[in-house]
Structure 1
């Protein structure tokens, strides 16, 4: 986990316990958990939005390819010219 082993994690928790005290520690842990959850949700929303835009652009590209291969509305075919 980010290059932090069990001994380092224990030291960090002991320091946090000494600084904030046993009464504040659960409240701080809860707020940190909420912050991480909000960050993850925001990142997922951005990812979803980007994927939606990419899909939309790809569909427009396919539609343009189909329109480009179709004959123009007022185009005269070779058979009509030879008459």
Structure 2
């Protein structure tokens, strides 16, 4: 699902209405931090899988 600029504005507007102007920046920071941690975790998992796959290929060649 691709988010267009209009969809992002609608999401921000609804968030503004629901949470108010005081809590919205804190929620944005929390969401950004969660997304960053998720990307780091998936990156680490991908590296582990590639390393394991590489080790398995090396074992098969011997």
For normalisation by structure 2, the TM-score amounts to 0.88
For 1:6 and 1:44, the matched residues in 2 are separated by 27
Matched, 1:58 2:57: yes
Q: What runs of 5+ residues in structure 2 fail to find an aligned partner? A: none
Matched, 1:33 2:32: yes
Deviations 1:19-58 (A, max 9, x none): 1111111100000001111111111111011001111111
1:78 maps to none
Matched, 1:42 2:19: no
* Larger Rg, first or second structure (1 or 2): 1
RMSD: 1.1
Ranked by relative contact order (alpha carbons within 8 Å, sequence separation 6 or more), the top structure is 2
- Pairwise CA distance, 1:10: 1.3
